[in-house]
Amino acid sequence: MGKRKAFTLIELLVVIAIIALLMSILMPALTRVKKQARTVACLGLLKQWSLYFSMYTDAHDGSFMQGFRTSPPNRWVSAMGDYHKWNSELTCCPNATKPWEDEYGNSSGMEGTFLGSTSAWGWTEQGHWAAPMKGSFGMNGYCVNPPPGAEPHNHPKNYFWRKSGVSGSAYAPLFLGALRYNGWPLYTDRPPDFDGQQWNDDAQMGRYCMNRHGGFNNCLFLDYSARKVGLKELWTLKWHPLYLESGPWTKAGGVMSGDWPDWLRSLKDY
């Protein structure tokens, strides 16, 4: 009778060791691919939002919504409810879907922490909204068309992009990843001390400066183009018509790499 062939214990251990080695090599690559896929999916969502904004402005003589200082407040969340159908999957970046609070108001403990960049705002209920919402995108607060005397945060009336398709629209942010559903950055705003730091009223650029996409944020611009934006690049964008694009946190304004908080120093300067 012929001998029965089988693996020896040593051979099995060698095979297992080889598989483990291959997995250790492949897992980081697979993780990077998954992150890249989420970034692409996020950009795809922003392109979908470009259609929503286009349809909204087409239906309102080319103008954006009035903003929050009207009665009832006319934020984008409520103003564009007919387009997003109050579906929070459309308002969340795939890298930031877990909200600060659950539907019952219980805190997740992520708001204002190092995990803040991976969290969504909400669940939020504004009373006049059709449903509670969460999200991880926010609108540039200067992209509104407020009536006289209702300008957000008492900013001058000429600070606002009231319509789409304006001159320089390829550099003016409209809708992007955010820790809040809107914000009003200034070129003097200091950067966050750490990734995910709670947004501050006196430094609202921090609502958009968080590391969800490997040193980048995804942004939809006023010309309805969408692309990745470097976190330091945020200070160089045209947030409002009178915004200084060469402010103190830009290379043109004299900032040095060492001036940035530790978590931002290694990122590309602009």
> In one letter, which amino acid is 44?
G
pLDDT of residue 26: 67
Tally the C-alpha atoms within 13 A of residue 212's C-alpha that lie toward its C-beta. Answer: 33
Asked if the structure places residue 10 within a domain, the reply is no
For the entire predicted model, the pTM comes to: 0.88
- The residue-averaged pLDDT of 24-35 equals 68
DSSP string, 70-99: SSS-B-HHHHTHHHHTT-GGGSS-TT--EE
1 has pLDDT over 60 = no
Asked if the structure places residue 121 within a domain, the reply is yes
pLDDT of residue 116: 85
Asked if the structure places residue 11 within a domain, the reply is no
Alpha-carbon distance 107 to 256, whole Å?
38
Neighbouring residues of 71: CB distance < 8 A, sequence distance ≥ 6? none
Asked if the structure places residue 249 within a domain, the reply is yes
Asked if the structure places residue 226 within a domain, the reply is yes
Alpha-carbon distance 36 to 260, whole Å?
26
How many domains are there within the chain? 1
> In one letter, which amino acid is 22?
L
Confidence label for 88 from pLDDT (cuts 50, 70 and 90):
very high
Quote the longest CA-to-CA distance of the chain.
Answer: 100
239 has pLDDT over 80 = yes
Domain containing residue 100: 16-265
Asked if the structure places residue 71 within a domain, the reply is yes
Contact at 8 Å (CB) between 45 and 90? yes
Tally the C-alpha atoms within 13 A of residue 246's C-alpha that lie toward its C-beta. Answer: 3
Confidence label for 24 from pLDDT (cuts 50, 70 and 90):
confident
Cα dist from 4 to 1, 15, 84, whole Å: 9, 20, 66
pLDDT digits (tens, 9 = 90+) for 59-86: 999 999 999 888 888 999 999 999 999 9
Asked if the structure places residue 2 within a domain, the reply is no
User: Which segment of 12-21, 24-33, 171-180, 235-244 scores lowest on mean pLDDT?
Assistant: 24-33
Asked if the structure places residue 253 within a domain, the reply is yes
Alpha-carbon distance 165 to 57, whole Å?
10
